[in-house]
């Protein structure tokens, strides 16, 4: 397991991305925590965004010992893909862990749609385009593909 050898609060000189979700973790001029870890002979720094740091406790519980190797980008993704889709699409009924997983999926890569399930084109099941409109107007037309949604078409 990687061992934390140093934790420093620093002021960022440049933008840093989160090493788990790849979203922007810190902007120039902001304070952030840089963690230095050592594993075998190899030393490296880790920078993460606050939502990912907050998710770590859930990932460790979920991995149940498997996290002894440290939490890699792959492990946190596997956790989010396992836990997120189990959630109901109504935020009120989601657990803290489910919300953390959905938030990760929304940040990661080009970001998944986590605020609604895929709604296909009525009468055209082959058109892979979501017709959800968050406020009922075309300004909020989704237009994303089925597999961009955590809750895709069945």
For Zn ion, give the closer residue by CB, 2 or 51.
51
Nearest CA to 151 out of 101, 109, 97, 95 is that of 101
Minimum distance from residue 50 beta carbon to Zn ion (Å): 8
User: 16 vs 12, 25, 53, 135, CA distance in Å?
Assistant: 8, 6, 15, 34
For Zn ion, give the closer residue by CB, 83 or 142.
142
CA distance 135 to 34: 40
Nearest CA to 82 out of 65, 109, 61 is that of 61
Member of 26, 49, 80, 87 binding Zn ion (CB under 5 A) = 49
50 in helix, strand or coil? helix
Of residues 53 through 112, those in contact with Zn ion by CB under 5 A are none
Helix ranges, 71-121 (H): 73-83, 96-107
For Zn ion, give the closer residue by CB, 81 or 132.
132
For Zn ion, give the closer residue by CB, 59 or 142.
142
For Zn ion, give the closer residue by CB, 41 or 126.
126
Close Cβ partners of 91 (under 8 Å, ≥ 6 residues apart): 99, 115
- The pattern of x and - marking residues 8 through 37 that bind Zn ion according to CB under 5 A reads ----------x-xx----------------
Please tell me whether residue 52 binds Zn ion under the rule CB under 5 A. Answer: yes
Member of 132, 133, 145, 152 binding Zn ion (CB under 5 A) = 132
Q: Given the rule CB under 5 A, which residues bind Zn ion?
A: 18, 20-21, 49, 52, 113, 130, 132, 142, 144
């Amino acid at each position: 397991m990687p061992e934390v050898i140093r934790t420093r609060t620093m002021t960022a000189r440049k933008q840093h991305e989160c090493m788990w979700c790849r979203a922007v973790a810190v902007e120039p001029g902001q304070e952030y925590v840089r963690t230095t870890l050592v594993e075998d002979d190899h030393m490296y720094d880790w920078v993460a965004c606050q939502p990912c740091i907050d998710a770590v406790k859930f990932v460790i519980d979920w991995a149940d010992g498997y996290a002894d190797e440290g939490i890699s980008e792959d492990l946190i993704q596997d956790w989010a893909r396992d836990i997120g889709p189990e959630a109901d699409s109504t935020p009120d009924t989601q657990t803290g862990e489910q919300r953390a997983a959905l938030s990760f999926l929304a940040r990661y890569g080009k970001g998944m749609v986590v605020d609604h399930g895929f709604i296909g084109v009525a009468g055209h099941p082959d058109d892979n385009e979501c017709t959800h409109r968050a406020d009922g107007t075309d300004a909020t037309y989704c237009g994303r593909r089925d597999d961009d949604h955590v809750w895709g078409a069945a």
